[in-house]
Amino acid sequence: MDALRRLRTTGTEGVASWNRRMLAEADDGTRRGTRWGRGAFAFVPAALAVGALAGALSQGALAATFNVTDQPFSLTSNGVSGLGFGAIVNTPPIGHPDGSTSTDTGMTRVGFASAGLAGLCAIVHQEIAGVPYSLLLTAGQDVQDGAPTEFTPDIDASNLYLQAVELGSSGVTTLENAVIGQSADQVLVDGRPLTGARPGAFGLGSTGENGGSSVELHGLDATAYDAEIAGSLALPQLTLKVVGGKATTC
């Protein structure tokens, strides 16, 4: 028991130290971001790692990366209200377990200069020694099945980017000041082009400067390879949990 307690303490202190370093680097103005999907979060030992990470996140520090061996994960919300919205089609490099990469999968790269989410549910499927497990990340209000007729955001994010093979809403989607069919390299989010933008590729941009369009999605449902928060993210009531089997809902 003493050895386990020392291991847990060491793991928590290590994660907290790493988070402090990431946050200090973020203060120097260099865009690094927080990514879910293609980083280095080790699942072994899963309970210790998740416990240490949750402890750091509960202190208001979000500098975490999840490694899901470059497979997509699900991301759902009751709704998203975003400003400075832009989207492009690109073909990002995808890593494979054998170490190879490919760039033949068309995806949508979506960015929000600022976004309000009504609850968040992220599900990552993983195997440990051939046994399936699911990592559930939830925050804010409970995410419902289907699309609510109205929603009130309770999660604030700035410079939010998603790289998804599927992204849509199960209810009404409202776009304002948007240009459909803009060249991808001309689509700006917070004054910057989206990663992977190619001249002539499809883009959904804005009639305003620096990505001034807005979007409201009722019932966000995405299958994503990457979720990046290059700015800040406030997660109320954050919960991280590992469960057996392949979970489909939080």
Return per-residue pLDDT of the chain as tens, 250 residues.
Answer: 444 344 344 444 544 454 455 445 444 545 445 555 444 343 334 444 444 444 444 444 443 444 344 678 899 999 999 999 999 999 988 877 788 888 889 999 999 999 999 999 999 888 888 899 998 989 999 998 877 889 999 998 888 889 999 998 888 888 888 888 999 999 999 889 999 999 999 999 887 665 568 899 999 999 988 888 777 777 888 888 889 999 998 8
Would you give the DSSP letter of residue 201? S
DSSP string, 78-103: EEEEEEEEEEEEE---EE-TTS-EE-
Per-residue pLDDT at 232:
75
Per-residue pLDDT at 112:
92
The two beta strands, 239-244 and 178-183, are unpaired
Per-residue pLDDT at 152:
95
Q: With 0.85 as the threshold, say if the pTM is over it.
A: no
Per-residue pLDDT at 204:
92
The answer to whether residue 48 is domain-embedded is no
The answer to whether residue 177 is domain-embedded is yes
Per-residue pLDDT at 235:
81
45 prior amide bond cis, ω within 30: yes
CA proximity to 233, closest of 147, 161, 133: 161
CA proximity to 241, closest of 249, 229, 232: 249
Q: What domain range is 157 assigned to?
A: 70-244
Kindly tell me the number of DSSP H helices and DSSP E strands found in the chain. 2, 17
Per-residue pLDDT at 61:
41
Cβ distance 70 to 95 under 8 Å? yes
CA distance 64 to 49: 11
N residues, the chain:
250
The answer to whether residue 129 is domain-embedded is yes
The answer to whether residue 80 is domain-embedded is yes
The answer to whether residue 41 is domain-embedded is no
Per-residue pLDDT at 184:
95
The answer to whether residue 14 is domain-embedded is no
The two beta strands, 66-67 and 34-37, are parallel
Q: What's the start-to-end Cα distance of the chain, in Å?
A: 32
The answer to whether residue 179 is domain-embedded is yes
DSSP string, 107-123: EEEEEEEEEEES-EEEE
The answer to whether residue 37 is domain-embedded is no
Number of domains in the chain: 1
